[in-house]
Amino acid sequence: MRAKIPVLMGWSGCFVVSQLTTVGLLVVAQGNLTVHRCWFRWVGSESQFAKGWSASSAELMQLLLTCSKQHPTVCDTEFLKTSKWLPSKTKHKNIIASHSFKHLAQVIAKTTMYHPNIDQFAREIVTTIGSLGTDALGTFWDQHLTPTLFSSSPERKYLGFMLAVFSFDLISSKEVPAVWSKDLLNNLYYALTNKENPLHLVCRNELPKILSEKLSQENVSHEVQLAVVFQTFTSPGGLHLDGITHSAIVTSLVSRFKLPALLNYIQWLKHLFIHGTTDKTMIREINLDVARKWSSSHLLHLIRMTSLPRNEKWISSIVRFLLLHSHFSFLGNDNNSHIDEISMVGEHFMDLSESTRSHVHQNFLTSVSWLSNMAPLPPDETSVVTNEPKVVIPGLMSSGHFWLASIVDFADSLVSSEHVKPVFNFNDNIKKSWLDVVQNISKVLKLKSKFVSSWKCRR
């Protein structure tokens, strides 16, 4: 009979468990309680079940959990305590609970034979712990799984990377440092920077894709998205992780931001630019000029990331920010302006160095070029929608105005502001030329308005 028992296929479809385990699962599945009771008594007294956690494996645990679920009167608390699956004085009735975290980490560590596929039972353990309650999964990672996986073989470190990404939709933002931990990030950094590391290629080429796919899922919260990015900046590579390692780890994380995470990230980048500090205790601080160049470049990258939730409001705020700091300096008063980009700057703001201003200026020009060639965005709740003819013209906003006209209008408000002044020589000739540009744009907009009115009349 045993010779005819079918092979039990796992998630990867490529492993065979022992005949004894197969027979046991078959009996449980058939629900033959009498046969099962005799079989279970034999297994419990003479097989590895009697050894408890000391002889545990993923296959053995799967069988034990199935028996416990299908026949709780046979595989009951008394049996589990006698066989040392449960502590003798515990009130817990579940095998997977806080008392077994240490053992579960060891069980997960033994599933590396199925790589590159991650054993489904390892995922089930992580999912079950995630359902136990607040901070349970974070505690499991921090105290047991991270020390077990990231101080061991490359296979176990790979398992750690994959399970950490898998955990993103099971944790809260405050658990992110426990899961996406310093140990994990150190190992990731050294794998990325060392071409001889066995995990170099998978971390450089595959992990960004896996991260991007995971963070694009609806059940990963925007708080977790943002926390993962900030935690990634605590790696040895700091803010320059992608540049140092020639990878796309940070890019893959940011490119999948939901709108609330994106808006918070933009505000953080602007804060970094203005103050030169990350405002995050675990992220290594950098030089003011470096911070400003890095943050302005990342603000530009956000405009060019078409995978992000796009609307004109946040795009405009970035372009206006780059325009202000590339073409104007502050006069040192209280900056209590009705213009948001000015009012967010404190009175102790340090002026930009020449090299930094040149860098920001180039980023501004690139953003203008990008917007001038960008197709109109779909209208959203922040857009002013008109009933104009629907013609797809690059460089148009949903209101029908050109991005360039909007930028010039903002620049004109800065020229007349008492809080800032142009960094270039704004003599009488330049002022006249500037006024001519503003007036010409105004005339074009009036002609456009007349055209729209006549078009409506003909309908």
* Average confidence (pLDDT) over 277-306: 89
Distance CA 198, CA 186 (A): 15
Name the least confident of 92-101, 136-145, 255-264, 450-459: 450-459
Is residue 115 packed enough to be buried (19+ CB in 10 Å), middle (13-18) or exposed (0-12)?
middle
Spell 323-361 as b/e; 16+ CB within 10 A means b: bbbbbbebeeeebebebebbebbeeeeeebeeebbebbb
Higher-confidence residue: 389 or 234? Answer: 234
Is the confidence at residue 173, as pLDDT, over 60?
yes
Mean pLDDT of the chain: 81
pLDDT exceeds 70 at position 382? no
Region 297-314: what's the mean pLDDT?
94
Band the pLDDT of 17: cuts 50, 70, 90: very low
Which residue shows structure tokens 């993103």? 168
pLDDT tens, position by position, 157-169: 999 999 999 999 9
Q: How confident is the model at residue 376 (pLDDT cuts 50, 70, 90)?
A: confident
Cα-based distances in Å from 434 to 324, 429, 440: 16, 9, 10
How much is the CA Rg of the chain, to the nearest whole Å? 30
Note the pLDDT of residue 76: 82
- Mean pLDDT is lowest, of 140-149, 263-272, 379-388, for 379-388
Q: Answer whether residue 28 shows pLDDT above 90.
A: no
Q: Residue 16 — pLDDT band, cuts 50, 70, 90? A: very low
What per-residue confidence (pLDDT) applies to 390?
A: 56
Q: How confident is the model at residue 402 (pLDDT cuts 50, 70, 90)?
A: confident
Say if residue 337's pLDDT is above 90.
no
CA distance 188 to 200: 9
Which pLDDT band, with edges at 50, 70 and 90, does 2 fall under?
very low
Phi, psi for 334 (deg, rounded to 5): -75, -10
The predicted structure's pLDDT at residue 360? 95
For 184-219, what is each residue's pLDDT tens digit?
999 999 999 999 999 999 999 999 999 999 999 999
* pLDDT band with cut points at 50, 70 and 90 for residue 35: very low
Confidence band (pLDDT; 50, 70, 90) for 393?
Answer: confident
- Map out the domains of the chain as residue ranges: 2-82, 282-459
Cis before 208 (ω within 30): no
At 396, phi and psi to the nearest 5? Answer: -95, 145
Per-residue pLDDT at 342 exceeds 90: no
Alpha-carbon gap, residue 367 to 407, rounded angstroms: 11
Lowest mean pLDDT among 84-88, 171-175, 439-443: 439-443
Rounded Cα distance, 74 and 145, in Å: 31
